[in-house]
């Protein structure tokens, strides 16, 4: 028989007297690790395939748009920032749906969460940090193609004064969108611990609902009953984003045209939904420690 594995090696034990990081630094470490994991970095080679494939699919059309603008010498982007995101909304949603379980299901499913909870980071901060990682990953995903559009557009001679405010407003809406998508997909993944279930549920909640909302809005616009379309928009993060992008000139397109009051209602809804998701996420992780 070969030497049994697991023999205890006689090396002297050394203690550790060095510095220990505070709670803030711990949260930052967890945040960065989570952000990297959302793109499969620091994980197996296979887990990098999907996020980077989706990211590539999301960026390539932007590169093409910029190419067209450069060659044809257009004086504005044929598809502006928020409208571009509306076009790739399926990719963004798939990315969020597929990567949320990486951050929210794994620790619960394999029970490694108890190892985190037995460490200094409080459970609420753990949940919020996970959310911040996912939201940042989604933001990176949407920011990259719009940056290509913006930077490429400026290089192609578009007017900085025209483009910059539109771009910045789009970035602000992307923040809202990322916060919402991370909250919703994170919450779903923290309850549906099987990855398949979580992905399907997220797709149902985001893509299917967004599709239904869009159909309702089209019908409402055709029939001339705007109120129905406006209310319907409250039920989908994408309708919120697209509606606001149109109303606040972030280079968006939307079936419905929001009045000021409705625009503020949309923003308020987004904030409330996001806050509710965060509260539920925190509750979930605070409770799980006591099991």
- 39 vs 238, beta carbon nearer other proteins: 39
Given 18, 45, 161, 224, the residue binding other proteins (CB under 8 A): 18
Residue 42: count of CB within 10 angstroms of its CB: 11
The least distance separating other proteins from the CB of residue 112, rounded to whole angstroms, comes to 5
Pair of tokens at residue 269? 């809804």
The least distance separating other proteins from the CB of residue 34, rounded to whole angstroms, comes to 11
Residues 25-54 that bind other proteins (CB under 8 A): 25-26, 29-30, 33, 42-44
10 Cβ partners below 8 Å, 6+ apart? Answer: none
CA separation for the pair 99, 131 (Å, rounded) = 12
Beta strands in 55-98 (DSSP E): none
Judged by CB under 8 A, does residue 118 bind other proteins? yes
How far CA 125 is from CA of 89, 137, 147, 222, 245, in Å, comes to 30, 18, 31, 47, 32
Given 1, 2, 5, 196, the residue binding other proteins (CB under 8 A): 5
- 10 vs 260, beta carbon nearer other proteins: 10
Instruction: Please report where in the chains the tokens 């609420």 appear, as a residue.
Output: 124
Judged by CB under 8 A, does residue 23 bind other proteins? yes
Given 52, 56, 119, 218, the residue binding other proteins (CB under 8 A): 119
Judged by CB under 8 A, does residue 289 bind other proteins? yes
Judged by CB under 8 A, does residue 124 bind other proteins? no
CA separation for the pair 69, 78 (Å, rounded) = 8
Label residue 93 exposed, middle or buried (CB < 10 Å: 0-12, 13-18, 19+): buried
- Give the per-residue SS3 of 211-259: HHHHHHHHHHHHHCCHHHHHHHHCCCHHHHHHHHHHHCCCCCCCCCCCC
CA separation for the pair 153, 79 (Å, rounded) = 11
Specify whether the CB–CB gap between 281 and 183 falls below 8 A: yes
From 113-121, 141-149, 217-225, 239-247, span contacting other proteins (CB under 8 A)? 113-121
- 114 vs 155, beta carbon nearer other proteins: 114
Judged by CB under 8 A, does residue 2 bind other proteins? no
Residues 73-112 that bind other proteins (CB under 8 A): 106-107, 110-112
Using CB under 8 A, count the residues that bind other proteins. Answer: 42
- 14 vs 73, beta carbon nearer other proteins: 14
Judged by CB under 8 A, does residue 71 bind other proteins? no
The least distance separating other proteins from the CB of residue 26, rounded to whole angstroms, comes to 6
From 5-13, 74-82, 150-158, 217-225, span contacting other proteins (CB under 8 A)? 5-13
DSSP 208: I
Judged by CB under 8 A, does residue 282 bind other proteins? no
Which residues form the interface with other proteins (CB under 8 A)? 4-9, 11, 13-16, 18-23, 25-26, 29-30, 33, 42-44, 106-107, 110-122, 289-290
């Amino acid at each position: 028989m070969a030497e049994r594995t697991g023999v205890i090696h006689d090396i002297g034990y050394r203690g550790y007297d060095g510095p220990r990081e505070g709670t803030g630094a711990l949260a930052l470490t967890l945040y960065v690790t989570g952000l990297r994991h959302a793109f499969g970095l620091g994980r197996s080679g296979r887990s990098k395939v999907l996020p980077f494939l989706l990211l590539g699919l999301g960026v390539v059309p932007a590169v093409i748009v910029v190419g067209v603008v450069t060659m044809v010498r257009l004086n504005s982007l044929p598809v502006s920032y928020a409208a571009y995101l509306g076009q790739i909304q399926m990719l963004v949603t798939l990315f969020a749906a597929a990567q949320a379980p990486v951050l929210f299901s794994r620790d619960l499913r394999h029970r490694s969460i108890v190892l985190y909870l037995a460490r200094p980071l409080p459970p609420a901060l753990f949940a919020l940090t996970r959310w911040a990682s996912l939201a940042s990953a989604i933001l990176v995903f949407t920011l990259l193609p719009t940056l290509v559009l913006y930077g490429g557009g400026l290089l192609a001679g578009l007017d900085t004064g025209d483009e910059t405010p539109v771009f910045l407003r789009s970035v602000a809406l992307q923040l809202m969108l990322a916060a919402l998508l991370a909250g919703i997909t994170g919450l779903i993944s923290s309850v549906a611990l099987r990855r398949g279930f979580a992905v399907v549920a997220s797709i149902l909640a985001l893509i299917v609902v967004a599709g239904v909302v869009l159909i309702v809005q089209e019908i409402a616009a055709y029939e001339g009953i705007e109120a129905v379309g406006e209310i319907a928009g409250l039920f989908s993060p994408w309708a919120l984003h697209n509606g606001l992008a149109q109303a606040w000139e972030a280079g968006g397109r939307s079936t419905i045209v929001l009045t000021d009051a409705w625009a503020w209602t949309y923003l308020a809804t987004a904030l409330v939904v996001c806050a509710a998701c965060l509260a539920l996420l925190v509750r979930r992780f605070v409770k799980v420690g006591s099991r």
